[in-house]
């Protein structure tokens, strides 16, 4: 086999860019993210070259962990932001996953490299929390021919789904599962491939699934049969986001935060911190965050602060 997994360049940085461009062509990465990932990977390529590693085939997880630990030292000294250090390691994972056709075992920037966790605590209430505002936005979208995009927004608001998860969900099957088992299984489009079950907790969830199943019709999911995921994401889905924003809602992700805040109040009996609530019982607060973390498709409760606010001291 030729150097750098046959990607067409003997230069590791250039080969990484080629791998990313190929992934973009398959609709696996967005055009907007490729430049940033390629730039970050080039920094690892320079590091690897200085360490005497000149080709991708010689890169292994131990070397990436060592690279990440050096970045962690920079973060500790205050010379680099934790978020940027994590992105540098993530870029290596992304490129190597593409270059090895999925055989690469990703290295965790936090757990394995020791880069401190990002700190992003929501301070503003979600713009999509108010039910009347949300309903008016959905009605307007349907009237303007954006029924599919309205369904995506509703699934984000009622189940906390990411826009990709909602787009790829077979809502007809999900509706049948919800009626029979009281749960909805999320697998397609899930971040990190983590399948999860969400238990029904309100009547509005069934209503949203029923509407989505009607719009989906005989298609596999909510993406029109004639469109690829990339075409949908960069076209109609983006148009839907702009329509939501025109009604004062920040976007699909903000609807996930609205879902999280509503769930927190249901689980604890108190408003979420970002909604002006106070933590009355720290164990109940922690239990609620663990549950919400699972429902949102995350693997650690610290992330929930980005949706509902922090725990205070």
Contact 77, 116 (CB under 8 A): no
Spell out the residues 6+ positions from residue 69 whose beta carbon is closer than 8 angstroms to its own: 113, 114
Q: What is the pLDDT of residue 313?
A: 40
The rounded distance, in Å, linking the Cα atoms of 14 and 18 is: 6
**Tokens linked to 151:** 């369904």
CA 66 to chain centre: 27
Q: Token pair 């993210």 is at which residue?
A: 33
CA distance 98 to 193: 16
For the chain, domain boundaries = 3-99, 131-308
> Within 10 Å of residue 207's Cβ, how many Cβ atoms?
12
Distant-in-sequence, close-in-space partners of 18: CB < 8 Å, separation ≥ 6? 7, 8, 9
Note the pTM of the prediction, 2 decimals: 0.65
Tens of each residue's pLDDT in the chain, 313 residues: 468 888 888 899 999 999 999 988 888 777 778 888 999 999 999 999 999 998 999 999 999 999 999 998 887 766 777 778 898 999 999 999 999 988 999 999 988 998 876 556 788 899 999 999 999 999 999 999 999 999 999 999 999 999 999 999 999 999 999 999 999 999 998 877 789 999 999 999 999 999 999 999 999 999 999 999 989 998 999 999 999 999 999 889 899 999 999 999 999 999 999 999 889 899 999 999 999 999 999 877 888 988 999 886 4
Domain 131-308, what fold? hpI Integrase; Chain A (1.10.443)
Question: From residue 194, how far is each of 165, 185, 187, 237 by CA, in Å?
Answer: 11, 11, 7, 23
Q: Quick one: pLDDT at residue 78?
A: 60
C-alpha–C-alpha distance, residues 288 and 282, integer Å: 10
């Amino acid at each position: 086999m030729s150097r750098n997994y046959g990607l067409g360049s003997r230069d590791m940085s250039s080969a990484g860019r080629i791998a990313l461009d190929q992934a973009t062509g398959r609709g696996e990465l967005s055009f907007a993210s490729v430049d940033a990932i390629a730039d970050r990977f080039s920094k690892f390529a320079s590091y690897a070259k200085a360490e005497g590693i000149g080709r991708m085939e010689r890169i292994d997880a131990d070397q990436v962990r060592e690279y990440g630990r050096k970045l962690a030292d920079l973060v500790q000294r205050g010379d680099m932001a934790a978020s940027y250090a994590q992105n540098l390691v993530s870029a290596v994972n992304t490129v190597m996953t593409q270059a090895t056709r999925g055989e690469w075992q990703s290295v965790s920037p936090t757990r394995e490299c020791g880069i401190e966790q990002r700190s992003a605590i929501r301070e503003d209430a979600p713009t999509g929390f108010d039910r009347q505002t949300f309903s008016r936005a959905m009605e307007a979208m349907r009237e303007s021919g954006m029924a599919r995009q309205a369904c995506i927004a509703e699934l984000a608001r009622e189940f906390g789904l990411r826009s990709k998860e909602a787009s790829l969900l077979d809502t007809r099957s999900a509706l049948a599962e919800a009626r029979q088992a009281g749960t909805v299984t999320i697998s397609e489009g899930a971040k990190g491939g983590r399948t999860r079950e969400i238990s029904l907790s309100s009547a509005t969830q069934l209503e949203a699934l029923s509407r989505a199943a009607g719009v989906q019709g005989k298609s596999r999911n909510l993406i029109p049969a004639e469109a690829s995921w990339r075409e949908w994401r960069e076209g109609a889905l983006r148009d839907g986001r702009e329509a939501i924003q025109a009604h004062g809602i920040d976007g699909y992700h903000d609807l996930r935060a609205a879902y999280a805040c509503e769930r927190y109040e249901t689980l604890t009996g108190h408003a979420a911190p970002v909604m002006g609530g106070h933590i009355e019982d720290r164990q109940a607060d922690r239990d609620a965050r663990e549950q919400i973390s699972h429902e949102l498709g995350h693997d650690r409760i610290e992330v929930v602060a980005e949706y509902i606010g922090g725990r205070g001291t």
